[in-house]
Amino acid sequence: MKNLIKSLAICAAIGAAVNLNAQTVTVDPTQLTDGYMSWTPTANTLANWPGDGGYGSSGWGQSDLTAVWYGSVVELGPNVNTYAPGNAYWNNPDGSGANQMDASTYAETIGVYESTTLTFTFDVLANTLNGPYTADGWIKDFAPGYNYLGGSYVNLTPGVDSVTYTTADNPGEIVQYGFELIGPDTNPATVAEYGVVDIGPAPIPEPSSLALIGFGLLGVWRCRRGRAR
């Protein structure tokens, strides 16, 4: 019996320890407040109009990405903010977008998730993207100074999904999590034909199942011990 008690205690302790180093976050409009855009010439631009298009990156407002919040649900769509016919930097002579746009909607934390197994969970309510557009959920890990250390990505398909990454143990660790939509800038008059992605929050799991199992078994043992008396 002493061995049983010891095993149960160890099981519960391990579960609790695991839980301390694991965190889960989900879609929250008060947390996913940052926007960032990077762009490079599309393959079509490079093949047919060398010299057109451009390279760049900067912080953008989420509505310019495009990312629009409806309560706790965020809707991602292709970028139309840079559409400028006649401007070779942004549009090809045939009217197509000259640049591949990588639009990110995300949360950034500093010194919050050091040496943590972080899970970002979400509910993809709909994904009607088509043509040259794709969307991902991700976690990215940076050392102080934004030296990229690694990350994890998952393609957004309808249903509850998640992405998990274990961060480094650096004081001031910078961890970002969010979504990105990749594809060329496009004409606002025809953007609807390319679809959107709607993403909402997913339930946050309860504390480590290992800990719960350990405490549950301990409770069963106590109950049986009481009956034996």
Q: Is the pLDDT of residue 224 over 50?
A: no
142 touches 149 (CB < 8 A): yes
Q: Is the pLDDT of residue 188 over 80?
A: yes
Is residue 40 domain-shared with residue 140, that is, in the same domain? yes
95 touches 85 (CB < 8 A): yes
CA atoms of 222 and 211, how far apart (whole Å): 17
Is residue 55 domain-shared with residue 151, that is, in the same domain? yes
pLDDT tens digits for 66-92? Answer: 999 999 999 999 999 999 999 999 999
Is residue 229 domain-shared with residue 116, that is, in the same domain? no
Q: Would you state the structure tokens that stand for residue 117, as one six-digit string?
A: 């197994």
Q: What pTM does this model have?
A: 0.82
pLDDT tens digits for 95-115? Answer: 999 999 999 999 999 999 999
Print the domain residue range for 139.
27-203
Is residue 74 domain-shared with residue 175, that is, in the same domain? yes
Domain count of the fold of the chain: 2
Query: Could you please report the per-residue DSSP string of 129-146?
Result: --TT-EEEEEEEEEETTT
Is residue 33 domain-shared with residue 102, that is, in the same domain? yes
Q: At residue 200, what are phi and psi to the nearest 5 degrees?
A: -120, 180
Is residue 153 domain-shared with residue 136, that is, in the same domain? yes
Q: Give me the mean pLDDT over the 32-54 stretch.
A: 97
Is residue 85 domain-shared with residue 114, that is, in the same domain? yes
CATH of the domain at 95: 2.60.120
Is residue 125 domain-shared with residue 228, that is, in the same domain? no
pLDDT at residue number 205: 75
Is residue 183 domain-shared with residue 157, that is, in the same domain? yes
